[in-house]
Structure 1
Amino acid sequence: MKTFLTHIKEKYGDGGYAGDEFGGARGHDGRGLPTGQPNNFMFATGIECSNPTIDHGRIRRDLLQECGHYERWREDFALVKELGLKVLRYGLPYHKTHLGPGRYDWEFADQVMAELQRLEITPILDLLHFGVPDWLGNFQNPELPVHFADYAAAVAERYPWVRYYTPINEIYVTARMSGKDGIWNEQLKTDRGFVTAMKHLVAASIMATQQIAQRRPDCIIVQSESAEFVHELRSNPSPQITLDNKLRFVSLDLLYAHHPDGDVLNYLFDNGLTRREYDWFMAGEPPGYQIMGNDYYGRNERIILPDGTECTSMDVLGWYNITLEYYRRYRKPVMHTETNVFSAHEAPTWLWKQWVNILRMRAEGVPVLGFTWYSLIDQVDWDIGLSRQVGKVNACGLYDLDRKPRPVAASYKMLLQEYGQITIVPHGELFEVTKGPATLKVEV
């Protein structure tokens, strides 16, 4: 007796049916190095560009200088290209470029931006990375939002081909390290200092985004923020750590016009946020296509033991669980915008673990825009948060400071060859990133 398979074989042959190459059994599985197609997942690296001041403004920690990028930028960009990457998180040196109100030095910026364009590398342009020019002082300055908005407008006008921006990198970390932890810039250790820095930074990001959107209505804003959590192993949790686990949301709450919890709102009002300022933040989220980038390092999670001592938890919740909490709060497409470890030996395993987190998130149906190993080359003194100028090399790059590959570079290349052409979400061809302006206000 003939079955349906018999009839199919007689009519169409034994497998490899004509037409199946258009997305069927013979369709493309996503393998191969990235092509840069607008529906493709964005694999990236970054150039470490932090530039806060320490020692009460007497020392500028310019990591572009300390890691040799000012002299070797052509070589660094060539390494990005050689890896097969199409996307680079890249920060112009704000403290060197914005010389004063309406005054700019574009010499270095013009050179590097022209080379990125020539190499067809898409920059996610980072405009402020932990520091401001000397003439602006620090993040307690209420003039920051208007001056930074002018700078963002000038950048968008000068490089109109740039679409992806991170106006201010890790707002929460910037405000905490400068206003609360006493390590960078103003080096305050007060709640009021933290709240003041926070409101000025978020306002600066919003105003800058408005200026960018005037010039690029289709701009894509990748807000890179630290994915944090503190595990307190006490039967009676302390009010301070309970509050701290909520304060990690403050930057995005204010940025995305999401009302904070009542105790957080009281904290903000008690420490200098006015009702008028709060209403301004809650008027609505910034323009453009908004992407919620979450940076995750194992050291982002900490454990407080019953005796009060602290240890790094290293991946108890991990990027997936922490970012899923952020996603459910804000309902924005996400991106893994930074990760690394300080051990060159452990880095390949850490890379694969982060990729498993990405795959888990995709399996949940969450749109994940991309993944970033940060950074391209080793860093300096990040094991102590740049708090002192020691000069210790952190072996966390894809390449060392001599531009020789670390083991993780080969692992990243293997990952790219296996997954480099997957789409942002399964069947992502249906949802291709277009050039249309961002005009919709999405509530559901």
Structure 2
Amino acid sequence: MSASAPWIWAVGFENTFIAQTARGERVLDEYEITQHYRFWREDLERVRQTGATMIRYGIPWYKVEPESGVYDWEWTDEVMAYFAEHRDLKPIIDLMHYGTPLWMDREFMNAAYPEYVARYATAFAQRYSSIVAYYTPLNEPFINSEWCGWSGTWPPYLKGHDGFVSIMNQLCKGIIRTVTGIREIQPDSTMIHVEAAKKFVAADESLIEETKLWNEIRYVMWELVQGNVEGDHPLRNWLIRNGVSEADLSWYLEHAIELDVVGINFYPQFSVNAIDKEVVRQQKIPQPVHGGKQDLVEIVRDINGKYGKPVFITETSYWGSEEERIAWLEDVIDAGRQLTSEGIELAGITWFPFLDMVDWPYRTNGLPFRDNVATFGLYTLEEQPDGTLARRKNAVCDRFEQEVQGRSKI
């Protein structure tokens, strides 16, 4: 495309922070494992060299607030000062990208969680509002609810649809409290509400109706925070059946917020899922089937049509060889062209993660770093004899830079 391409190119660092180890797990802190705390300045310099003009950047809440109401901004101050100095790279701050502080009993199911997360978010905004204009209140509520409330993999280890809904209810209230708190400090801030881009397909014709329901459930966060679930809304009965009360729904109506930008995270290997009989009868988590460019186009088109808001592809990449990643990047570029040619306001496209990351099973499998590396990145992590993780620019980054550089900086 020409230098006047209508969307922003962004990147992001994987920033999952699951610090609880009560069941003998390892801490899953992606910044620690990938040595980003150590090399953050060099990593951000590499991002700027690509020509990307925005970056999704997570804050480790569990480190920032080590005790309730007590904040340690030392490391964050340095990083935010970097962004203040280099205004060509605008951060979208991931206030919540999985995980709660260690002091919070029952994690997301703590009755005061919505107030606690809003307190932390407003403390951040009070400190950095002169630097940060863009926020994600909470990344991927669907996946968060799935891992914490459906599969029981992450704390508080709930299971089933009612666990999923219980976590989702807490997260959505926290999102609203967060947005409300930040807006009191920064009325002109922009909220990018990021969710996993799900598309459900029926395993056979007998499951078409159930699949229609799941293709409504994928919107549940956006529907709740906007106060849309009332009357004969297709999610109302399902939510009530799984533990949401009439009082909860009334609360959402009273405290509803408007969306600024809709963020979607799409991975061709994970974002399209099959509804089969085990999903319906045993509440199994739908398993992924391989998706592609047209699935991404369809999801963006549907969400833009549903909400009438700009859509930001806030995560996309491919776990595989450099050749496979380059092929997917070409597909994403083509998808962006197709969407903008249809008149859809595509705010941006984000390659995520910028560096290779550690796959989440690292938390429990006991295997070393080299056996947990997920090869998504524009930079490859290479473990040195002394344990240092060297960053090697790869061919995917070369192609990314070729596409991005020369575009107007937004």
TM over 0.5: yes
Q: Which amino acid aligns with 1:381?
A: D
Could you tell me how far apart the structure 2 residues matched to 1:223 and 1:413 are? Answer: 27
State the Cα distance separating 1:97 from its structure 2 match: 0.5
Could you tell me how far apart the structure 2 residues matched to 1:123 and 1:169 are? Answer: 15
Q: Contact 1:181 / 1:189 at 8 angstroms: preserved in 2?
A: yes
Partner SS state of residue 313, structure 2: strand
Q: Contact 2:149 / 2:167 at 8 angstroms: preserved in 1?
A: yes
1:125 aligns to what?
Answer: 93
2:3 aligns to what?
Answer: 31
- Cα gap change, 1:79 to 1:135, in 2 (>3 Å): same
Q: Deviations over 1:296-322 (max 9, x none)?
A: 001111346799995522217421101
- Cα gap change, 1:361 to 1:316, in 2 (>3 Å): closer
2:408 aligns to what?
Answer: 421
Q: Contact 1:54 / 1:387 at 8 angstroms: preserved in 2?
A: no
Partner SS state of residue 100, structure 1: coil
Q: Contact 1:381 / 1:389 at 8 angstroms: preserved in 2?
A: no
- Find 2:264's aligned residue among 283, 294, 299: 294
Q: Which amino acid aligns with 2:103?
A: W
Could you tell me how far apart the structure 2 residues matched to 1:204 and 1:253 are? Answer: 15
Could you tell me how far apart the structure 2 residues matched to 1:167 and 1:283 are? Answer: 19
1:42 aligns to what?
Answer: 8
Could you tell me how far apart the structure 2 residues matched to 1:306 and 1:61 are? Answer: 33
State the Cα distance separating 1:395 from its structure 2 match: 1.1
Partner SS state of residue 260, structure 2: strand
Bigger Cα Rg: 1
State the Cα distance separating 1:242 from its structure 2 match: 4.2
Partner SS state of residue 49, structure 2: helix
1:134 aligns to what?
Answer: 102
Alignment pair present for 1:144 and 2:121 = no
Alignment pair present for 1:312 and 2:289 = yes
Could you tell me how far apart the structure 2 residues matched to 1:336 and 1:350 are? Answer: 14
Alignment of 1:117-266 (within 5 A): 117-120=84-87, 121-137=89-105, 138-161=107-130, 162-237=132-207, 240-259=210-229, 262-266=233-237
Alignment pair present for 1:360 and 2:332 = no
TM-score, structure 1 length as denominator? 0.81
- Find 1:378's aligned residue among 356, 365, 370: 356
- Cα gap change, 1:189 to 1:198, in 2 (>3 Å): same
Could you tell me how far apart the structure 2 residues matched to 1:296 and 1:400 are? Answer: 21
Alignment pair present for 1:341 and 2:313 = no
Could you tell me how far apart the structure 2 residues matched to 1:242 and 1:259 are? Answer: 17
1:23 aligns to what?
Answer: none
1:273 aligns to what?
Answer: 244
Q: Contact 1:303 / 1:313 at 8 angstroms: preserved in 2?
A: no
2:63 aligns to what?
Answer: 96
Could you tell me how far apart the structure 2 residues matched to 1:95 and 1:243 are? Answer: 36
Partner SS state of residue 342, structure 1: coil
Could you tell me how far apart the structure 2 residues matched to 1:150 and 1:306 are? Answer: 43
65-74 or 189-198: bigger deviation: 189-198
State the Cα distance separating 1:56 from its structure 2 match: 5.2
Q: Deviations over 1:5-55 (max 9, x none)?
A: xxxxxxxxxxxxxxxxxxxxxxxx9428x9xxxxx6321100110112576
Q: Which amino acid aligns with 2:78?
A: Q
Q: Which amino acid aligns with 1:279?
A: S
Q: Contact 2:207 / 2:276 at 8 angstroms: preserved in 1?
A: no
State the Cα distance separating 1:57 from its structure 2 match: 5.4
Q: Mind listing any 5+ residue stretches in structure 2 that lack a counterpart? A: 280-285, 382-389
Give percent identity, aligned residues only.
Answer: 28
Partner SS state of residue 404, structure 1: strand
State the Cα distance separating 1:171 from its structure 2 match: 1.0
- Cα gap change, 1:119 to 1:198, in 2 (>3 Å): same
Partner SS state of residue 278, structure 1: helix
State the Cα distance separating 1:239 from its structure 2 match: 5.8
Q: Mind listing any 5+ residue stretches in structure 1 that lack a counterpart? A: 1-28, 35-39, 424-444
- Find 1:411's aligned residue among 389, 399, 409: 399
State the Cα distance separating 1:379 from its structure 2 match: 0.6
Q: Contact 1:230 / 1:245 at 8 angstroms: preserved in 2?
A: yes
1:441 aligns to what?
Answer: none
Query: Aligned residues, how many?
Result: 386
Q: Contact 1:77 / 1:116 at 8 angstroms: preserved in 2?
A: no
2:81 aligns to what?
Answer: 114
State the Cα distance separating 1:389 from its structure 2 match: 4.8
